[in-house]
Structure 1
Amino acid sequence: MKSIRILAFVLLSTTSLFAQSPEEKGLKIAQEAAKYDEGFESSEVKLTMTLTNKHGQESTRYLETKTLELIEDGDQSLIVFNSPNDVKGTATLTYTHKEGSDDQWLYLPAIKRVKRISSDNKSGPFMGSEFAYEDLSSQEVEKYTYKYIKDDQVNGEDAYVVERDPVDPKSGYTRQLIWYNKANYRLEKAEFYDRKNVLLKTLTYLNYREYLGKHWRAGEFLMVNHQTGKKTSLKFENYQFKIGLTASNFSQNSLIRAGR
């Protein structure tokens, strides 16, 4: 009798797995990825941004970013450029929302003004890089619809490939293909398709490291633009977590102070 019950359980589990639609499976993978990274509270990290044009010429910028984790809504982040002098003091504040358009502001030290970034311009390049302003937002599940595509391998890791389509009609992308690591749901690679559904960019996540026994962070983001031949590398160092940041550290006044 016990063996019959075990067999029945196995058959039921197998049936449920196969009954799951690609959309349901894709959403489940995205939800697991979000759940896996919960609990970092706040973080700070220093970055080196390297811009490479189609001729291979490089320019380097140094910046830092702070992030505040919010459970009831999307995360908030503050990015400040420290050098070179032509971008020093430029700062960007992003309020990601689970529903609706994100709020973003840009502080320009040359004119000492805060400029609101219109949702119509979110697909524009961030400070001349291959990252768009919308790429600065946190990865909130509600911002996309999902569809599981296949199992694959990337960066030597087993991965799920999931298509996610932005809900926001003003997004610069029609769809994205995301490679989620099967073991810990970290992102390994992303492909971005433009409004004509042509491959625009590929983002590869490199040199991962685990923090606090749970939170995986890539040591480098490499974004390659297939249509222009340009690329941007972001290298991260000195990650700190649970550093006591609050909403007061992510106001427009704090944006101005950070840029001075």
Structure 2
Amino acid sequence: MSMIQKEPDIVIKEINERIDDLEKLISLYEQKQDVYNSFNSWRSNVKRTLSENFSEPSISRDFLIETKVVPNKFSRADTISKVGEALQKSKDILSKLKSDVESGKYLPEKSVEDHIDKTMAVTIIRKILKNFHKHIEAMYQDEVHGNGTIKKEDLDKIKIGNEYDVQRILYSLIRPIFPDARLEVVDDAGYASVRYDIVLDEYGIVIEVKCTRENMTERKLREELGSDSFHYEADHLFLFIFDKVKLIKNPDAFEKAFRREKQGFDKELETIIIREITF
């Protein structure tokens, strides 16, 4: 049984995008335009979408088989007719797939206790980020038990020097809860490639980690975050700033400036600054 590999609303959104593209082709076809080549390009895009969203290759493979048009070299009219039939067949298949996803048909079989929906995932990530300093205090700064083999002098040697250190510790907190979380994921943003620090594909969550340093200005930090906010593809983008050198003059205003809702932006944007600890 095939299962979806992302949250249902993300899968439905991507299927709807392919249906919207198909509607444009149907409109051109009804205007007597030749859409044979465009239709085949669209089918390739659909194959990629289905392959990325469904665990079984048969979903995309069967789609290609059922929508294939073999041109009749002796009759252009017959080829045009076949394209029209394939357009409608494609719409029926994607509409049925979308309906099945909405009904929960392709959801993995998880117990109620194990299932984490998108809203809960965002809440968990938010709490981890906002309480990051509590982990640092409990793990590295609090006194150790006298009978333990981990010694305080060993823990004192561990220092956060840059964002890669923050990223490593943060990832170690996220992965036990979200085992499929990925680290340093490279993606094509169109103009150039981008590197996401931590990605939770199933929920469309991306976390960008920053660690301030002595030779950084607040303006430079704003420019970097502005670029990340614009180019990163995500449903929910967290900008996590470990303000090691207390660079940000007004953290509350800074967080507010880098907060957006999806209705007015193309993603939910949330910024969390940690600066309460010395480490």
TM (normalized to structure 2)?
Answer: 0.24
Higher strand share: 1
Larger Rg: 2
Of the two structures, which has the highest relative contact order with CA contacts closer than 8 Å and spacing of 6 or more?
A: 1
TM (normalized to structure 1)?
Answer: 0.26
